[in-house]
Structure 1
Amino acid sequence: MKRFGAFDAFNYALLLVLSLLFLYPFWQLLVLSFSTGKEATTLGYAFWPRHWSTEAYRFVFAYDEVMRPFGNSVLRTLTGTALEMLFTLLAAYPLAKRELPLRGVLTTYFIIPMFFGGGLIPYYLLIRSLGLVDHFLVLVIPGAVAVFSIVVMRNYFQSIDAALEESALMDGAGYLRLLFRIIVPVSTPVLATIGLWAAVGHWNAWFDALIFVRDRNITVIQVIMREMLRASDEQTRDVVLNRSANAAQLSLANVRSAIALLSIGPIVLAYPWVQRYFVKGLMLGSLKG
């Protein structure tokens, strides 16, 4: 057996310290969000609150200006991820076929926008001319086609044994049935990888909502969190005092911490379910160019 030496001990100690450094900011947010208002202002750096309180979360869940954007973020993530995966499948599968006419031209056509863009002003004018300003679809339609994901999925499809498709075609299956009944079930790793990329991208996105959405009914939680974090203490305190019957038990620190945890919680909880497919799908999808 390999001996456990000083170098191994140093590596484990270093990794342990780095892990604690990465995890502590999240733990600090959790502690602040469950602290009382008075304690949150004087807690400093602590690993455990003296008195637990859920008042910050009660305020956040009762505050419609937070929960409506949170629901919009969930709807955007689900809809945008589903559309992106569908269009990625429908674009990557034909491009994986060497017999596709003009395959190289079509691939080049897809790849060019990865390196060149028209800029923010032409992009805004395009969105406005399409009538998508202040519309929920502006959050999901422009990002429905992800070229990098198409390239990764195309490469994965090229690594699948051609005998699977040949036998299905001989049995009379069409290409759509072949894609959804044979190719998709054996492509779980790359689908999980693409889905994770799309979900994280949609959940964290805020700039498009900031630029194109003025209607507070369709904005997303990230914009609200940004406004809450950028607002002055007086503005945030006014919101808390006006909206909460127990404002005396709240502080700006635990309200902001609760909103921050609410905005990152779904992705953190969803990641472990797809993490085992992530590396495998990424590696298999990068084997061929």
Structure 2
Amino acid sequence: MGLYAQDDLSLAQEMYENQDFEATIEYLHSFEIRHAADLLLEADAYHKLKSYEEAIETYDQVLAREEDNIYALMRRGAAYLELGDFSFALKDVRKALRLRPEHPEANFHMGNICYDQDDMKNASKYYRTALHHRPGYPQATYMLGAAKSNLGQFKDAEKAFDQVMEDFPDAVYNLAVVKLEAKNYSEALSLFDQAESKGISTPDLYFFRAESYFFMGDKREACIDYKRAAGLDDSEAAEIYDSYCMKSRKKPNRKKRETIHIEL
């Protein structure tokens, strides 16, 4: 790649780092001759836009030029996982790990594959390996917290989420859920309030905050939040609001539901 092309790629990289992904793609399309490096950047931009099929097609072009490009392999695997193509995801990330067993991002993506398959023990192992090779890796720390929460290891989950609250607004919400599961209801309420102040207004937030109020014996506040969750199409909250709040019946036990919201 000549100096001029390298300067052009640097400009595209700057656009990408500024999160102007559509402009990045448009600019890269102006390149007359395509190389693996600029195609990888284009694929990553599609990935950030959640255009997973376009990302995969562009990672394919990278791998046609460099068949052992581990970044294209593991990120194509991540895109396949987003589309629910588990076998293709596993094949790509396994190959990346064979090429670079110590690579933190490859271990992170293998952790995500295990997490997707509800294998929280191995997910935790891969996230820890990623953190061993890249201390402080925020995405791996976040997902380790999610895996530990699903394993019922709430102290470890709290520690992980507490480290990344500045990086991911959802980490505050997740830490609140962990506090709820650990029966630290007052702390959970404070964190749910923080999460709401950061712009999180999902039915899950209102539902689980209502649960915290319920276990603290505050029926009035619990019912306010059950009603909010019900208004956002949470069927379980609607059932509880109708029977417990409106008809003063015994509150139904909480059904099994996803408690950790993943947003990276």
Give the TM-score range, shorter chain: under 0.3
Give the alignment's TM-score, normalised by structure 1. Answer: 0.21
Q: Indicate the structure whose relative CO is greater, using CA pairs within 8 Å and at least 6 residues apart.
A: 1
